[in-house]
Amino acid sequence: MNKNTKPLGQKAYGSIPHLPYSRLGEGDHHIEIGQAEIATKKARDKNDLIIVQEKLDGSNCSVAKVNGQILALGRSGYLAETSPYEQHQLFSKWVKSNEYRFFKLLDENERVSGEWLAQAHGTIYKLHHEPFVVFDLITINERTTYHNFLLRVLPLGFVVPNLVHIGQPLSIEKALKKVEVSGHGAIDEVEGVIYRVERNGKVDFLTKFVKPTKVDGKYLPENNNGQTIWNWNEMSV
C-alpha cells in the first residue's frame, strides 16, 4: 500500500474540543458553552449519561480492519509503519504481534482508537499494563456506546482509561481531584480528563479538560533536544 495513502480516506481520529479554561494546543478550540454545562453542571434530563475518564498523554493511534486486513494507523490516518517516528513504527510492530486480538475485536470497516504510551510526550508513565490504551470503537464515523465498547474490548484483554465517574454531570474541579493519583502509573501529574456524553443509547459528544500547568510534549527530543524517554519498549514484560 502506498505510504501516502490514507486507508480510511480520512483521519483515523478527529480532535476533541476543550472545556472552558482548558489549555489549548495548536489548532484546538473550545466546546459550545451549552455542551460544557451539560457535561459539568446540569443534564438536559434523565436521558443524559456523563462518563469521565483520565486523559492519557501519548500518541493517538488506531487499528482498523479494511478489506480483511488489520492496519495500524497514526491519528492522521496514514499507516504507522510509514511514519518517520520510531514510536509509530514500534506501534506497527506491536499491532502485528497482537493481530489475532484485533481480528477477534474488529468487524470490517471498524477501528479501535487509543493512546500509544510507549514514548513519553508530556508525561512519564511507569506502566503496569500494555502500552496501548483503547478508548473508542468506531464504525465509519459512529462511536460505540461506552457499555458496548467495554463488552467488546475487555474480554480480549485490552486496557481502557481509568474511569473517574459515570452518572450525572461532574464539575471539572471534582473530576481533577479524582485523578490526583493516576490509574496508569503517571509519574508526572495527570494531563487532565475526558468527558463522554451519551444520550438515548448513542454517543452525543466528547469534550476534555487539559491542565494549564501541563507542557505539551516537553519530553519529546524534537522539543527539548534531549534523549528519547521510553515508558515501554519491545523488551518490556
Q: What pTM value is reported for the model?
A: 0.96
Instruction: Give strand pairing partners of 195.
Output: 52, 207
Beta bridge partners of 192: 55, 210
Q: What is the pLDDT of residue 99?
A: 98
For the chain, domain boundaries:
33-224
Residues of the chain with pLDDT under 70: 1-3, 235-237
Whole-angstrom distance, CA of residue 162 vs CA of residue 160: 7
pLDDT (tens digit, 9 = 90+) per residue, 149-164?
Answer: 999 999 999 999 999 9
Q: What are phi and psi of 83, to 5 degrees?
A: -70, 145
pLDDT of residue 233: 76
What pLDDT digit, counting tens, does each position of 132-188 carry? 999 999 998 899 999 999 999 999 999 999 999 999 999 999 999 999 999 999 999
Going by C-alpha positions, the residue among 186, 160, 168, 164 that lies closest to residue 177 is 164
> Can you give the pLDDT at residue 237?
41
| pLDDT in the model for residue 235 | 55
Select from 3.30.450.20, 3.40.50.2300, 3.30.470.20, 3.30.470.30 the CATH code of 33-224.
3.30.470.30
Q: Where are the beta strands (DSSP E) in the chain?
A: 48-55, 59-66, 69-74, 110-116, 132-139, 142-143, 163-167, 192-199, 202-210
